[in-house]
Amino acid sequence: MKYVRRQTYTMVARAESVATTRECIIQAALKLLLAQAYEDITLVAIAQTAGVSHQTVLNHFESKERVAAAAAEVLGRGTEAARNKATPGDIRGAIATLVGEYERIGDAGARWAMASERLGSLAPLLDDARAGHQLWLQRMFGDSLPQTPAARGRAIHALHAATDVYVWKLLRRDLHLTRADVERTMVSLINGILKAGTAPPRHTRSARRNR
């Protein structure tokens, strides 16, 4: 019986060690992805940052793409959890939350988006991120969006364009606006889109004037 308990303990300890090493590698890859372009990161650099051997990284993930995918998944879960703390309908609060995430990971997000053609099998992760962003926009502003499918779709696309990481990069990095100014600009864009979306179609307004 003691042997069985000792064997069980050893198996559990090994499993925990494997899980800890895997998490350490993912966090190392995430740290590098937030600081450097994907194509500049090597498996050797990931291993050195994690404090493990190059072979250990390969044993866990087989390739750089798989390490990066695991890191991107962790990053995505964290970003989703942070954004979902915002209250639907609270435009200023939602944008403050969004810009806060861009302050943390926006540079990396912009680099990934600009390198999409060189990401290979990781490129679909960008599509997933875009789809997730649109779902978040619908959750935050759904009650203020047009009801007809076509108009609603156009409004969501406009909101996406107004709140994309590229816009944050343009305003924050290229034009050197403060974070507060970036938030005010995005809020103004969103208010304009939502106001335009709730206005009656132009032909309807013209018909009313001609009555």
Mean pLDDT to the nearest integer, 27-39: 92
pLDDT-derived band at 16, boundaries 50, 70, 90: low
User: What stretches of the chain show up as alpha helix (H) in DSSP?
Assistant: 2-35, 43-50, 54-61, 64-83, 91-114, 123-141, 149-163, 165-168, 179-198, 202-209
Asked if residue 26 lies in contact with residue 61, where contact means CB atoms within 8 angstroms, the answer is: no
62-120 residue pLDDT tens: 899 999 999 999 998 999 999 999 999 999 999 999 999 999 999 999 988 888 777 77
pLDDT of amino acid 117: 74
pLDDT-derived band at 206, boundaries 50, 70, 90: very low
Mean pLDDT to the nearest integer, 55-59: 93
pLDDT of amino acid 122: 81
Percentage with pLDDT > 90 across the chain: 68
pTM of the full structure? 0.80
Asked if residue 88 lies in contact with residue 135, where contact means CB atoms within 8 angstroms, the answer is: no
pLDDT-derived band at 201, boundaries 50, 70, 90: low
Return the amino acid letter for 161. Answer: A
pLDDT of amino acid 120: 77
From 184, 166, 64, select the one nearest 112 (Cα to Cα).
166
Asked if residue 29 lies in contact with residue 46, where contact means CB atoms within 8 angstroms, the answer is: yes
Least confident of 26-35, 139-148, 196-205: 196-205
**Tokens 């909101």 belong to which residue?**
159
pLDDT-derived band at 198, boundaries 50, 70, 90: low
Least confident of 7-11, 127-131, 136-140, 166-170: 7-11
pLDDT of amino acid 1: 58
Instruction: Provide the terminal-to-terminal Cα distance of the chain, rounded to the nearest Å.
Output: 93
What is d(CA 26, CA 72) in angstroms, rounded to the nearest whole number? 9
